[in-house]
Each structure stands twice: as structure tokens, then as C-alpha cells.
Structure 1
């Protein structure tokens, strides 16, 4: 197979024109070849402000050596490395592996273990996705919260109510395995090569159901509405998990609980499982008109049919050395109510596949560390909870979210009237001054970041842009320590901390990769044929 780079299409050329571009690059008279797109990117740096689509393609053609003789650096021989299921080990496993949590890490760990014949038992505190959607919509409409099944908990994890971004900087071969599995279960094929692939919350809901059914078809079991209250440890090793009055014997637990399972964190702290406090970030969601973002990023090509809703990713360091950045940017999306605790307000963002909403939103976050909130294991959790409680009160104690126009925020004055940007938060909003809610160092950093980002992306500091708070769940406040090679807890044999909740991931792809990584370690150690 040949891998050909630097294949260019103008913004007005359809993707079907790529075949002719490949033919000319090969200097080939024949049209007798097949190709698949390996990578797509947009290059706006060439020919003034023109947009050029740049592709890398893998081509199968007869007499490959003929085309390599020209020594064109854009044409190279390519051998594709496909993901391989690891060979199983030989140790006896008395009980099937237990997975706690059915977000991206738990799903992909469960899928791989099922494919390897281990018939995992998956325990998820939330509901199956269809019931979960109904619970979430009920909360958004009536303020009645299901603390076990919400935007944070339930089938698919927090990623189910998100933009469904699949961007990862990892070159890990597992990354392509994750994308291929998503496509196999119904995601668009384009995610395999796009520079910024996404699925959208509407498509993700169907995909996770299909994954669940394959796990079950391979002998695995998925139990919803099942909270793990305790991991039983004896003599430094896992012995069982307790769910209410039920005790489930096990010797292998893959813990993929997610970053909002605060009761689980407390249980682990009480059991003295090896953990450490870690830095994370807090802030607000910021909304702009999507048309403004399109204009800023695409200029004269804004609204061109070949271009999708524009994105951005911004970062800076303040004059005091603190990091400020945007995160989980949702083109054409909505700000959503994402609390998992009664009388708390938490925000997040999501987009549907079409990304055709009026507003763009993104988390606007400030880095915080144990030096800010304390070094005890529960200090970061308490810091998050206090901000969420204060936001609930500031919003009117009815799950409305506090909001502020950017102009008002920069002038330290409460917002009395919403301007041209209408907040998309579903439970209603109340104008405040965030300087009365957030710590001073957070507000100072946000203000400096907004002004800096406006210099990078024209209009970011527009007067009527809306800030909605608070965003506190960007990543876990703790890391559950594990051995680098075996992925096993440093002081608890049989416990595999995994994914975002364990502090080893930060998004759908990275969490899924970590789920695969931990599942591989179980496969490599044990023989599934020995299971009862």
C-alpha cells in the first residue's frame, strides 16, 4: 500500500475530486486503484486567505514499486498496523471481572474483555440511555433531579450529553481502534480521518446502546441502577463489591467511576486506597453567536457549504503565571444543567451532530491546584461543592444558573438585562456579578484571559457574550495511584483505577483508550477459559 501526502483540494472542489488529484500525484494513466482517506486537515495559510483542504490517502495499486522509483517524498510505502487483541495469560480467575461505571472507559474496557471471552459484569449506578434521557429532560423542565441518573451518571457517562468530540493528541494505536468501533456501531465514517471528529449527543445515544448489546451478546452483563457502595478489601487485595445488601465476590475490579462519583472517592479515602490530590480547573461557560465565531475563523468563507460550524481552542498564561484556557468547545451547541447533587448548579456544554444551534459555547477555565484549595484528599471535592452550592443560591435556589454579560463582568457590575446573546441554559438564568460568587483570583484570571483571547479571536470579548456558571467538573480532583506497567492500584491488588475518574484521562477518546489499556492488562494476566 502507498501512503500519499500533500493532496490538495480547494474549498470549491468536492471531495470526489480527490481521485483525480491522486492520479496526477502518481503520474498514472490508469484509474485502476482504490484509496481510503487517512487524514484530512484545513490549511488556511496558503494563497492568501484561501482555504485548502489537505489530505493523506492510502492507495492500493498494482506495481507499487514503479511509483516509489520516482522518490517523491509525498509517496511512501505504508504497512498498516491494525490493533491486535492481546494474547491471554495463564492465571486462574475464580470470578469474572467487575467493571464499575459505564462511561467511555467502562464501555471500551467491557467491550474488549467481552471480545476476549471474559464475560465482564458491569455495574452502573445510572439508567440505560433511553430512561436516562427522560430523567435528564425531566430535570431540565421541572427541576426534579435524579441523583443517580443525570448528565453525569448513566449509560455512556458524561460524554453522552456532550459535543461528542473525539479529538485526541495521542498517537496510540488504541485511538484508531476506538474510532473504528464507533464507526462499526453507527458513527459516520468521516470520524476516521477528520482532524476534529465529533459524533454529537444525538448519535452517541444510539451508539452506546449498540455497544451494550454486543457486550451482552458475548456473555457480558450490564446492570443499571446499581450503585457500588463498597469495594471489599482484605489483606491488600480485592475480595468483593457491595451493592446495597448484595455482595458480589470478585478478585478483579476495573474502577471507571467517572469524575463526579464523590461518594466513591470518599469510600476509597476511608479505605486508604493510594490516592493523591491533583490540579484541575474551574470557571464558567461562555456563549457567543456561532455566526461571530464562523466570521472570525473563516472570514470571507463564513457560511461556505464546504465548511462546518467553526471551532476554537485558546490558552494563555496570566501575568501571575496561572493558566486560563477554553475546553470542550461546542459549536452550534447548548449550555446544559449538569449537576448530580441536589441544590447544586453545574454547567457543561453539548452539541447535536448537525451543530446547527444559534450559539457557540465553551468552558472558560482557570487552573487551580492543591495550593489553592488544600492538600487533603477531599479538599478539591469540597472546593468544587462549595462553588456549586453558592451558584445554586446565586441563581435563586431553584436550579437557575447565574449569568453575566462579558461587558458587565469586565466592569464589575451585575447584569440587569440580557443583550443580543440569549443564554441556552435550559433551567432559566439569573443575572449576577460573578465577582460576588467566584474567588478573586479566578475572576482576575478570567478577565485577563477574555481580553487576551479577544486579541486572538476577534469578538471573543463582545459586550453581550454570556458567561454562565459554574463549570467545576472539567476533570477529577483526585488521582487514584496505580503501577505504570500493570495498571494495578499501588496498594490494592486486583483494583484497576481507570479513565477520567481515576485521573488518567480527559475526554471521550483518552478515557476509552485507558479503558482498553486496563482491560489489556487483565487479558494478559488471566485465562478466560478458567472462568466458572
Structure 2
């Protein structure tokens, strides 16, 4: 097949328009076109009065070689690459110790899936609960202010990404097309088929719940074993090599290959690993607030007269501002038509995050407005590589106090924040965060340099999205878990811990991913590394 890119058509084009566009672009008669599939569909909204769809198409022709020769030099016509997944190894019949995967978020799920599909029958250890029970606990915090520290937005089957917008795209390099494997497996698990071709696929929380269950069933059918409510409290290391793990119950599991896919909030695990001598280093992350606007405002600014068009859905945005104090402020994890959610995993702390359903039809748009910080900003660094984690805790504890000590979040209207005065009453934007928002001043919620940078950035963002700094928009604090505050450093070649053989740091918690998609891809990479280490093979080029 040939891949034909940059095919532009109006939003409301007819069913036959794609066929006609292919024939016109390639200059072939209708009889030479045998079929086509949509590989990618995006939209170009730079000219709001004439928004168009932009397609990449895989086309089947009667004489592809002749067309390729004729179109030589056209960079938008070429052979369709082979994106099928190829397993690197199969488990030996005499496998002595099964590999262990710690964590069942996107990274852990795909590490376990690849290992199971390769015959290794992994054991999956998850400190939290199965996804439906976990959902009940999560709603317990949102509706009743009752936190279960082991089963919440951060911990449990599906990982933190379950309670998010469900974005399935990333800017990572992917020469082996692992991302296609991720999308194909999600579709097998009942994700909508459109994720295979839309440019910014997303799923939403309710669909992710079912998908996590279906992928678990697949892994178990292949010999994988899930153990829920099994927190790993220790690792056994001999002569610089992993030999097993110790559960909170006291049970010991022997293993020579352990995938560490614990997510960015497993702070007790980070402390344990550091204590055991596993190499850990501090890394940059970002801190800030959630901001909420009417979704209709964002739609109008992005799509103009096409706002509300059913083929476009709810509009998103991506914003960056370089402040005069040298800090960068940017939008993070933008959730169109979503809600701001309570995302703490520790008692006496407040953390915000964003979530959307597949429909993205809630009244507000929200995103993190965050400031990049580096280890040099962490109190206690460089003596303590976990200083960033301690810094997060300080900010989250203070946010709990500002919210009144009931898991309500501190909030402020954007107009009041810009002018430096406390808010006393809500305006036209009703915040979506539950258990609730306590209005006041956010000036003490973040370091002064972050407050200064965000205060400067909001009016600057208004020049890109008219109304962004509207007085009634709501800021809710704090957003501290944009990414892991540490990196559990691994070797570039075999992906094992720099200090501990047989330990495979993976995904977002280890500092090697950021979001569902990149975490899933990293899970595949690490699973392959485990498979090759067990079998003594090498990765085929």
C-alpha cells in the first residue's frame, strides 16, 4: 500500500470526496484504486472561517510501483511502513522464576501484556484495588471527603490515567511503532476504533475502567496472575542484583526480573528504594493551579463560526509563556468539557488534577497552569535526592490548610488573582472540584517566583485566547504531580537500574514517561528488555 498525506477537505465533505481526492492527487483512473483506509485525520483551524480536515490515507492500487515512480519527489506519497508488532522472544519451557510487574497503570498493564503474550506468565502486584472497587473509593473522597490512602486517584488498577482525559498521544520518538500496538490493544479492549486514526485520540474515565478490566482478563487468560491490595514494602538485593520482593503482609516472592511501574505518587516506595541503595536522582517537574473557563468560550476562540460543530467536538488549547523572572509557564493536561478532581493519595493533603469523559460535554474546560521548577529549587537539594518529593508534600499540606482542612481546595478568581486581592464570591464560572472550593488568596499556595510568573502569564494567554484572563475564571490549587519528582535511573541499553541488576524502572514514576500513551509504550520497551534478558537474546533490528 501507499501512504498519501496532506489531503485537505472541508469539514462537511461528502463520503465520496476522499475517493475523488485520491484520484486527483495521484492522477489515476477510478479503476486503478482498489481501496483505502484512513491512517490519520486532524483538523487545521488556523483560518477559523474555513476549518478543514487533513488526512493521511493508506491506499491500495492496481500498480503501486508505477504510481510511486510517477510521484517520485512528492514527499507526501510513499510506501506504507510495516507497523505490525513483532515479539522479540518467547519464554523458555523451564522458566524457573516468573517475572514480577509492580503496578497496574498503563505502563504495568502493557509490560504485563507483552510478557504474557510472550509466554512468561508474569505476576502483577498492585497496592490498590481492582478498578471498579477503586472507583467507589475514589468517589468516596469526591463526594464524602473520605480518603483511602491505598485506593484513590493515584493507586489502583488502571493507574492515575484512569481518572484523566484519557489522552492517547505523545511526542515521543517511536521508531518501532509501539504506539500502534498500544492503540490496537486498546481497540481490542473495547476502545472506539476512531483512536486508530484521529490525531488527538482520547477515551475518558468510564471507558478506561472497562478497558482495564478487559486487558486484565486477557493477561490472566495467558497465564498472568493479578494480586490486588498487595503493596511491595521492600526489595531483596544480593550483590547488586534483585532477588525478590517483600509484601506488606510479610510474604516474600522470589524473582530475578522485576518491572517497577509504580507511578509518580508511590512516595513510600521511592523512600524504600533509596534506603535500599537503588540509584535515585532528583528531576525537574512543574507546580501550579487548575484553571476553569466556560467550554463555550474556548470553542468560540478556537473554532469561531464552527464552534459546536459535531465533527470538531470540544476545543482544546496549548499555551506557553516565558516570564520576565526566567520561569516558563504553560498549560498542562488540558481537559476539554471536563472536571477538576481531588487527586491526593495522602491524608491531610490537597492535590488537583483534571478529568474528562469520552463525551467531553461538561460545562467547563480546565487545564493545569504550571511553572517549571528544577532540583535547585527544592529545599534540601542536593543532599537529598528525594527533596522534590518533600517539596510536593509541603505544598500539598499547605493547600489542605488553606482549604480549611476538609479536602476542600483553595481557590481564587482569575481577576482577583491578577490584582492580588482575595476572592469572596464566585461569579459566572462554577468550579467543578469536589468536595468543594474555599475562596480566598492563593498567594501563599506556591513559592513567590511561581505566583509572579503565573500572574504575568494569564494576561499574556488572553492575547492568544480572548477571555482567558476573564475575571470570573477560577483557579484551584494545587497542581503538584505533573510528573515524577525523581528518576530511578536505568541503563540505556538493557533498561535495568543503574545500580541494581534485574530491576527495571519503567513509566512515569521512574521518570521515563508522561501520560498514558508514553507510559504504555515504555511498558512495551521494558517488557522486551526483560524477555531478552531471560532468554539471552538480542533485539532484532
Give TM-score, length-normalised by structure 2: 0.94
- Determine helix, strand or coil for the equivalent of 2:49: coil
| Cα distance in 1 for residues equivalent to 2:271 and 2:236 | 14
The aligned counterpart of 1:266 is 271
Give deviations 1:400-459, integer Å, cap 9, x for gaps.
111100011011111100000000002011001011322211100111121221112211
The aligned counterpart of 1:509 is 517
Shift in Å, 1:196 = 1.0
The aligned counterpart of 2:67 is 67
| Cα distance in 2 for residues equivalent to 1:356 and 1:95 | 48
> Quick check: 1:496–1:518 contact (8 Å CA) kept in 2?
yes
Shift in Å, 1:279 = 0.9
1:84 pairs with 86, 96, 99, which one? 86
Matched, 1:401 2:409: yes
Shift in Å, 1:93 = 4.9
Shift in Å, 1:89 = 8.2
Moved over 3 A (4+): 14-17, 26-29, 88-93
| Cα distance in 2 for residues equivalent to 1:317 and 1:506 | 22
- Determine helix, strand or coil for the equivalent of 1:436: coil
Matched, 1:197 2:206: no
Matches within 5 A, 1:460-471: 460-471=468-479
Alignment RMSD (CA, Å): 1.8
Q: Which moved more, 1:346-355 or 1:179-188?
A: 179-188
Matched, 1:229 2:233: yes
> Quick check: 2:3–2:77 contact (8 Å CA) kept in 1?
yes
Q: Structure 2 vs 1, CA of residues 490 and 171 (structure 1 numbering), >3 Å: closer, same or farther? A: closer
Shift in Å, 1:126 = 0.6
Matches within 5 A, 1:33-72: 33-45=34-46, 49-71=49-71
> Quick check: 2:83–2:180 contact (8 Å CA) kept in 1?
no
The aligned counterpart of 1:123 is 125
> Quick check: 1:94–1:250 contact (8 Å CA) kept in 2?
no
The aligned counterpart of 1:180 is 184
- Determine helix, strand or coil for the equivalent of 1:424: coil
- Determine helix, strand or coil for the equivalent of 1:463: coil
The aligned counterpart of 1:421 is 429
Shift in Å, 1:287 = 0.4
Give deviations 1:157-185, integer Å, cap 9, x for gaps.
00000000011112411111111111121
> Quick check: 2:445–2:478 contact (8 Å CA) kept in 1?
no
Matches within 5 A, 1:207-226: 207-226=211-230
The aligned counterpart of 1:309 is 314
- Determine helix, strand or coil for the equivalent of 1:434: coil
- Determine helix, strand or coil for the equivalent of 2:30: coil
- Determine helix, strand or coil for the equivalent of 2:399: helix
The aligned counterpart of 1:162 is 164
| Cα distance in 2 for residues equivalent to 1:468 and 1:372 | 23
| Cα distance in 1 for residues equivalent to 2:311 and 2:23 | 23
Shift in Å, 1:252 = 0.8
| Cα distance in 2 for residues equivalent to 1:356 and 1:114 | 37
Give deviations 1:201-248, integer Å, cap 9, x for gaps.
111111111111100000000111110000111111111111121111
Shift in Å, 1:54 = 0.9
Q: Which moved more, 1:312-321 or 1:18-27?
A: 18-27
> Quick check: 1:88–1:526 contact (8 Å CA) kept in 2?
no
Give TM-score, length-normalised by structure 1: 0.96
> Quick check: 1:283–1:472 contact (8 Å CA) kept in 2?
yes
Shift in Å, 1:88 = 4.5
> Quick check: 2:91–2:119 contact (8 Å CA) kept in 1?
no
Give deviations 1:55-101, integer Å, cap 9, x for gaps.
01001122223433432624333342322111358897531000100
The aligned counterpart of 1:4 is 4
Q: Structure 2 vs 1, CA of residues 68 and 235 (structure 1 numbering), >3 Å: closer, same or farther? A: closer
- Determine helix, strand or coil for the equivalent of 1:3: strand
- Determine helix, strand or coil for the equivalent of 1:319: coil
The aligned counterpart of 1:444 is 452
| Cα distance in 1 for residues equivalent to 2:496 and 2:104 | 19
Shift in Å, 1:44 = 3.0
2:350 pairs with 345, 351, 365, which one? 345
1:278 pairs with 276, 280, 283, which one? 283
Q: Structure 2 vs 1, CA of residues 436 and 451 (structure 1 numbering), >3 Å: closer, same or farther? A: same
Matched, 1:95 2:108: no
Q: Structure 2 vs 1, CA of residues 490 and 68 (structure 1 numbering), >3 Å: closer, same or farther? A: closer
- Determine helix, strand or coil for the equivalent of 1:65: helix
Shift in Å, 1:142 = 1.1
- Determine helix, strand or coil for the equivalent of 2:235: strand
> Quick check: 1:409–1:434 contact (8 Å CA) kept in 2?
yes
> Quick check: 1:89–1:524 contact (8 Å CA) kept in 2?
no
Give deviations 1:308-356, integer Å, cap 9, x for gaps.
1000011122112211111110000000011101111110000000000
- Matched positions, count: 528
| Cα distance in 1 for residues equivalent to 2:230 and 2:223 | 19
Q: Which moved more, 1:187-196 or 1:263-272?
A: 187-196
Give deviations 1:259-279, integer Å, cap 9, x for gaps.
000100110111121111111
